Amino acid sequence: MTEDEIKELILRGIRDPGGRRVDEDQLELVLDESYNYLGLRMVAANPEYFAERKSIASETHIFSIPSDNHKLLRIWDLETNAATISGAADNGSGLIKITTDAVHGFSDDEVITIHDVAGTIEANDTWKITVVDTTNFTLNGSAFTNAWTSGGKAFKEDDFDEILRTSLTDPNTDDNSHWFMRKDYIVVDDLDFTYDIVVDYTKIPTALTDFPAKLHFAIVGWGVLELIEIPPKDEANHDDFMVSYRHHLEMWNRGKYEINNFDPSAESRNLSDVSRIKRWI
């Protein structure tokens, strides 16, 4: 379902299909609350599903934690800087062609991770590549679908050196093999550190696209339970509202069960990878 479809179902469930009592801001707020609440439950049930890896740049040895971070897992020294993406397009054969704003330095069949591309979001993954020239490469096995709008970073998957966490009280300012936390920042314990870092972390789901389609009904159930206003028993439409309330309460309870047992890896091993993926997106 799309967000608009979910909003429409919520309005029907609270018996306000015209949206006279509930405005767009209220719907947005309820959806945001549901993503946060349901997402945290899903992370608790299966944190691996929300594992992310991205590069982070800084002009100093201090790096901002990803805004969608739930839990930092590992920090790696990229030993260079990630390539900045300046465009993505169809290569003429249906593959995604990535353009960088400077020489990327990649080679054919290297494994490249791409993140934070807007528009051509289907590029955000890990790929083997074919080099076109010094600032262009294609993603093997990809399919260009959406127009690029902005952003993106690319880096080569390699045998990175892990930067180990140390205590805030133990830095010596000259040890690029350790990092520590300072409020919302990752600090590499080396004042002269100049490379980007790679962060493995568990993300917080913040958008509908972070949730498998099979769980969208739970979002509808949450929204109705949050917004429905049941009239007094002596009013004629009381029973109709109660029917809707009980129906969506059942939806929500089924959703909680699915979320608490959320584990895509538990799918039947007889399913092909494609079939398994299609059941979760």
pTM, entire model: 0.78
Q: What was the pLDDT predicted at 204?
A: 86
Q: What was the pLDDT predicted at 265?
A: 66
| Nearest by Cα to 235 from 57, 15, 6 | 15
Q: Which residues of the chain have pLDDT under 50?
A: 267-281
> Angle formed by the axes of helices 3-13 and 24-45, to 10°?
110
* Domain architecture of the chain: domains with CATH: 3-47+206-278 (no CATH), 51-203 (2.40.30.180)
Q: What was the pLDDT predicted at 58?
A: 96
Q: What one-character DSSP code corresponds to residue 21?
A: S
Q: Using alpha carbons, list the distances in angstroms from residue 33 to 41, 52, 205, 208.
A: 13, 22, 11, 12
Distance, in Å, from the CA atom of 184 to the CA atom of 178, rounded to the nearest integer, reads 17
Q: What is the dihedral of CA 104, 110, 116, 122, to 10 degrees?
A: 120
Q: What was the pLDDT predicted at 272?
A: 38
Q: What one-character DSSP code corresponds to residue 65?
A: P
**Maximum distance among all alpha carbons in the chain?**
75
214-232 pLDDT, tens per residue? 889 999 999 999 999 999 9
Q: What was the pLDDT predicted at 266?
A: 55
126-143 pLDDT, tens per residue? 999 999 999 999 999 999
Q: What was the pLDDT predicted at 192?
A: 96
Distance, in Å, from the CA atom of 183 to the CA atom of 65, rounded to the nearest integer, reads 10
Q: What was the pLDDT predicted at 47?
A: 86
- Under the phi-then-psi rule, with left for phi > 0, alpha for psi from -120 to 50, and beta for the rest, what region is 72? beta
Q: Which residues contact 76 (CB under 8 A, 6 or more apart)?
A: 160, 161, 162, 163, 197, 198, 199, 200
Q: What was the pLDDT predicted at 212?
A: 87
